[in-house]
């Protein structure tokens, strides 16, 4: 393995440490939940591997014990994961690398993979493409492994360290603060926080994300239009 690739793996490992901690906790919780619902450990493990979208997997786990409704499963998947559309639009350029790695990175673009891959400034000696690939791989691995642990040892594991799941919240706060420090113009950041928190209070947690995205896009559209008009009139 050449140096840039090894460096990419080490750097990815370092950058994903908080995610490892968070996923270990949430993944085990998810595995234990499925175990308690009476599922073999293969269910949480394979679902973690194939779906790789935490919040949706909890929902699917609860759907599996009810009657079969394929259309509602599909719609739920689209609604819960609609935010990924935003990730992909933002990553069109960064993920545009040659070869098979790209397809795996798109497949594995969960909240954490997107956030780390978008925000990390990669040092020169590290290969950028391989870094983003390893971040995705490692996150995928942490998630599948911890879901499997929860499913396997569901009845034996008892958590004493209540509150460790806050690692994920802390990670997103840190990435957001980094963004605030780095940017000159806070319009987009504030827009994201304000729109989504107002809609969360009004609409509740089920539907606030897709509508926030629509509203943010609309705000951007109006802003761009104004800019064009101001340009034309000057």
Partner 1 sequence: MNLAEEILTIGIAACGTMLTRFLPFILIPSNKPIPAFIQQLGKFLPPAILGMLVIYCYKDLPANLNLNALFEITAGIITALVHFWKKNMFLSIGIGTCSYILLLNFF
**174: Cα within 13 Å, side-chain hemisphere:** 12
Residue 113 C-beta: closest distance to partner 1, Å = 10
Residue 200 C-beta: closest distance to partner 1, Å = 6
Residue 85 C-beta: closest distance to partner 1, Å = 5
Q: Which residue is listed with tokens 């719609």? A: 75
Contacts of 80-86 with CB under 8 Å at 24 or more apart are: 80/53, 80/55, 80/56, 81/53, 81/56, 82/209, 82/210, 82/213, 83/111, 83/209, 83/210, 83/213, 84/53, 84/109, 84/114, 85/213, 86/213
CA R_g for the chain:
20
Residue 216 C-beta: closest distance to partner 1, Å = 5
Joined together, the tokens standing for residue 112 give 């954490």
Joined together, the tokens standing for residue 103 give 């397809």
Residue 130 C-beta: closest distance to partner 1, Å = 18
Residue 182 C-beta: closest distance to partner 1, Å = 9
- Measured from the CB atom, the residue of 3 and 107 that comes closer to partner 1 is 107
- Furthest-apart CA atoms within the chain: distance in Å: 71
Residue 77 Cα distances to 46, 48, 58, 60, angstroms:
17, 14, 11, 9
- Measured from the CB atom, the residue of 3 and 36 that comes closer to partner 1 is 36
CA distance 87 to 114: 7
- Measured from the CB atom, the residue of 3 and 217 that comes closer to partner 1 is 217
Count the Cβ atoms, other than its own, within 10 Å of residue 40: 12
- Measured from the CB atom, the residue of 3 and 75 that comes closer to partner 1 is 75
- Measured from the CB atom, the residue of 13 and 174 that comes closer to partner 1 is 174
- Measured from the CB atom, the residue of 125 and 183 that comes closer to partner 1 is 183
């Amino acid at each position: 393995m050449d140096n840039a690739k090894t460096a990419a793996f080490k750097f990815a490992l370092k950058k994903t440490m908080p995610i490892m901690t968070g996923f270990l906790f949430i993944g085990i919780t998810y595995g234990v939940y499925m175990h308690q619902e009476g599922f073999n450990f293969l269910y949480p493990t394979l679902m973690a591997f194939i779906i790789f979208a935490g919040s949706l997997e909890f929902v699917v786990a609860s759907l599996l014990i009810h009657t079969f409704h394929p259309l509602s499963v599909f719609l739920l998947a689209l609604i819960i994961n609609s935010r990924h559309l935003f990730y992909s639009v933002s990553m069109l350029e960064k993920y545009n690398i040659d070869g098979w790695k790209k397809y795996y990175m798109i497949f594995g673009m969960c909240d954490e993979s997107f956030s780390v891959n978008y925000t990390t400034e990669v040092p020169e000696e590290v290969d950028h493409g391989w870094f983003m690939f390893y971040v995705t791989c490692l996150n995928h691995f942490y998630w599948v492994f911890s879901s499997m642990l929860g499913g396997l040892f569901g009845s034996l594991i008892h958590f004493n360290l209540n509150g460790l799941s806050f690692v994920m919240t802390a990670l997103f706060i840190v990435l957001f603060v980094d963004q605030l420090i780095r940017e000159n113009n806070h319009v987009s950041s504030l827009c994201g926080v304000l729109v989504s928190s107002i809609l969360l209070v009004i609409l509740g947690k089920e539907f606030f994300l897709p509508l926030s995205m629509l509203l943010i896009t609309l705000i951007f559209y109006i802003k761009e239009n104004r800019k064009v008009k101001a340009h034309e009139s000057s």
